């Protein structure tokens, strides 16, 4: 298990990880026709822009040299969690066959460590309300809901995300 910073050359692998993860993790939550049509390259354009603009950085977790998971994070983009003290964890995805094997916990721990080292005092992320497995994972890492909601419609289905927050260090 190797964790390293992702670069532009990793973007196709990142996008493939995201697509495969979505298809498994959101089965029964996101409309199946949408998941069935989701191409491996769906996130290439987004990550190319995010990396070029410096909006997010990403960590990869690898099995040997093969990327099997990715997490993206950076400064908050939300006015409700402003300033340099808040970080946003944009995503954490693993290839389905690596779930439950400690890879997610190791990757998430590396993200939290990177955020603390960067000086952030708190972090937030959005988690799909129906995704009980993810909710338990983030709760075990000390995150909890703060009541903020975000909704998006995919193929006629309204999906609700809850904001989970956690302090990274004490404010002095």
Q: How far is 59 from 88, CA to CA, in rounded Å?
A: 14
Model pLDDT for residues 114-162, shown as the tens digit of each residue? 999 999 999 999 999 999 999 999 999 999 999 999 999 999 999 999 9
Q: Quote the tokens at residue 54.
A: 């410096």
Q: How far is 119 from 112, CA to CA, in rounded Å?
A: 11
DSSP H helix total and E strand total for the chain: 5, 7
Model pLDDT for residues 11-68, shown as the tens digit of each residue? 999 999 999 999 999 999 999 999 999 999 999 998 899 888 878 899 999 999 999 9
The model's pTM is: 0.89
- The CATH number, out of the four listed (3.40.50.1820, 3.40.630.30, 1.10.10.10, 3.30.460.20), of the domain defined by the range 2-123: 3.40.630.30
SS3 165: strand
Q: How far is 129 from 131, CA to CA, in rounded Å?
A: 6
Model pLDDT for residues 51-67, shown as the tens digit of each residue? 888 788 999 999 999 99
**Four-point Cα dihedral 59, 65, 69, 70, nearest 10:** 20
- Domain ranges in the chain are 2-123
């Amino acid at each position: 298990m190797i964790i390293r910073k992702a670069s532009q050359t990793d973007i196709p692998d990142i996008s493939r990880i995201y697509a495969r993860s979505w298809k498994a993790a959101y089965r029964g939550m996101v409309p199946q026709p949408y998941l069935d049509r989701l191409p491996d390259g769906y996130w290439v354009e987004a990550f190319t822009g995010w990396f070029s603009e410096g909006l997010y950085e990403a960590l990869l977790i690898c099995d040997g040299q093969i990327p099997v998971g990715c997490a993206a994070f950076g400064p908050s983009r939300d006015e409700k969690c402003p300033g340099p003290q808040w970080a946003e964890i944009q995503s954490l995805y693993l290839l389905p066959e690596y779930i439950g094997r400690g890879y997610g916990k190791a990757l998430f721990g590396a993200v939290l460590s990177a955020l603390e080292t960067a000086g952030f005092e708190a972090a937030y992320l959005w988690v799909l309300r129906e995704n009980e497995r993810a909710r338990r994972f983030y709760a075990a890492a000390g995150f909890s809901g703060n009541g903020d909601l975000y909704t998006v419609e995919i193929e006629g289905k309204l999906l609700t995300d809850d904001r989970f927050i956690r302090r990274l260090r004490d404010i002095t």
